[in-house]
Amino acid sequence: MSEPNEHKKKLSRKTWKIKLGRMMANRGITYKQLAQWLNLNANVKTSEATLNKIVTKSDWPKRTLPREALKAGLEKFAIENGLIVESNVYQIFLDDPHNNAVTTGSQWKHAHKTKRLIIGHEDSINGHIVIELPEAQMLTPRARQHFKIFNDPWDNEIYSIDHVYLGAQQRYVVESIINCAKVGTLMALVGECGSGKTVMMNFTMEEIRAKHPNIRVIRPARIDKKKIGSSSISEAICRELNISKLPRSSEDRDSIIRDELTRSCNAGNRHILLIDEGHRLDEETIKQLKVLWELSEGFTKLIGICIIGQTELDKVLSSMNVREFAYRVNKLNVPPLGTELKDYIDHKLKAANLVPEKVIEPAAIEKMQQALRGIRKFGRTTGRPDETVDMSYPLNVNTLMKNLMNEAADLGEDRITAELAEEYVRV
């Protein structure tokens, strides 16, 4: 049973003079971590002792150049790690008027406040995308009868490999995942929601089964990816390699897994650990993945690792706590359909036994391309103008096509016209 006011227990005594010290204490940031971040991200080389003097005594280097470089680096650190907003960054060097120590209560409060500041700051600096698309609809019975169609070609669920569209860009992604297994690389596949990541992953699985029987795919079974840890990964490897009996000792267990991976590689097999929803992994698990990837027999990597996730995975990999993983990972972004939009629509319609030209006229596809553009908006303080962003990802295309087919059927149009698609183009 927890004690009353347990969240107010003291975590640390006040050992700082300037406000930056309290911010670091609230976040649990050490002088060593700060020195490493400054060296890697601000090109400022300094010692933990120097930083200690600055934070605890406001004692700066005597020479002007190192002092100014340090101040600029600390400001960059505070802004990019969400300690404070850019407009108030000067406050990190002011004397901290509070005499009380940091408590778990203040740490919890600050952590939630910091999270909001980080999100706001990232939206300001990196921009956030705004796109106006119609609300997703089902293909109506009238539209099905109108176009003489039995199965919805824009259903997000793929029930046959024939329905999968693979253009040049999508094929490159599939081949990259297969190469990850063959060579044993470290790979992260990042894409917007609805960009087709899961479809490409499933297609890759089919491709491996059909053409690469020597590739053994290892996938943790945990549905909640937040709960995937080193034990889940070890169990997944054991399941794929048919290791049934394992000792209780983690040291002995890891040794057996390494021996079996080596034996399997020497037999001509290659291995790939495939984790989807990778943006939900915690930092400690990502660190463990890097250690697993380093297993090798001579110059041969025993396992390749591919993490697949939404754009939040970029934020996870940008953390200073997983920099050793981030520096080695080959990151690949899933591109929008872009110039392949017409090919995608044609493929989906043909898979449903429809003639594309009888469903949508070419000029309407050009209007759709314009309607599938989003706007990346930046914060006012950045001084950056808004940018146009191509958002022609499969999910967005499917949503727009369903609405257009429904409207064409309601209006009695033989096919989707440019005038119909024009309604969805922002002025």
Judge residue 24's burial from the number of C-beta atoms within 10 Å of its C-beta, 0-12 exposed, 13-18 middle, 19 or more buried: buried
Confidence of residue 385 (pLDDT cuts 50, 70, 90): confident
Q: Taking 50 as the threshold, does the pLDDT of residue 8 lie above it?
A: no
Per-residue confidence (pLDDT) for residue 108, from 0 to 100: 45
Which is higher by pLDDT, 48 or 8?
48
Judged by DSSP in three states, 41 sits in helix
Per-residue confidence (pLDDT) for residue 318, from 0 to 100: 80
CATH fold for the domain made of 186-329: Rossmann fold (3.40.50)
Whole-number Å distance between alpha carbons of 165 and 161: 9
Of residues 155, 193, 230, 139, the one with CA closest to residue 336: 193
**pLDDT tens sequence across 236-279:** 888 888 887 777 777 888 888 899 999 999 999 999 999 988 88
Per-residue confidence (pLDDT) for residue 396, from 0 to 100: 92
Which is higher by pLDDT, 230 or 348?
348
**What sign has the CA pseudo-torsion 321, 322, 328, 332?**
negative
- Give start and end residues of each alpha helix (H) in 127-229: 141-146, 168-179, 197-211
Please check whether residue 352 is in contact with residue 223, taking contact to mean a CB–CB distance below 8 angstroms: no
The rounded mean pLDDT for the chain is 84
**pLDDT tens sequence across 76-104:** 999 888 888 888 888 899 988 776 665 55
Confidence of residue 55 (pLDDT cuts 50, 70, 90): very high
Which is higher by pLDDT, 3 or 419?
419
Residue 358: both structure tokens together: 């009888």
Judge residue 418's burial from the number of C-beta atoms within 10 Å of its C-beta, 0-12 exposed, 13-18 middle, 19 or more buried: middle
Number of Cβ within 10 Å of residue 284's Cβ equals 11
Please state whether the predicted TM-score (pTM) of the whole model is above 0.75.
Answer: no
Considering just the CA atoms, what is the radius of gyration of the chain in Å?
27
**pLDDT tens sequence across 390-416:** 999 999 999 999 999 999 999 999 999
Per-residue confidence (pLDDT) for residue 109, from 0 to 100: 52
Per-residue confidence (pLDDT) for residue 283, from 0 to 100: 84
Bridging pattern class, strands 270-275 and 304-309: parallel
Per-residue confidence (pLDDT) for residue 257, from 0 to 100: 87
Average pLDDT over residues 24-42: 87
- In a 13 Å sphere around the CA of 163, the CA atoms on its Cβ side amount to 17
- 3-state helix/strand/coil string of 411-425: HCCCCECHHHHHCCC
Per-residue confidence (pLDDT) for residue 415, from 0 to 100: 94
* Span of 117-121, 156-160, 318-322, 346-350 with lowest mean pLDDT: 117-121
Average pLDDT over residues 370-387: 79
Domain segments of the chain as ranges: 6-126, 128-153+352-422, 186-329
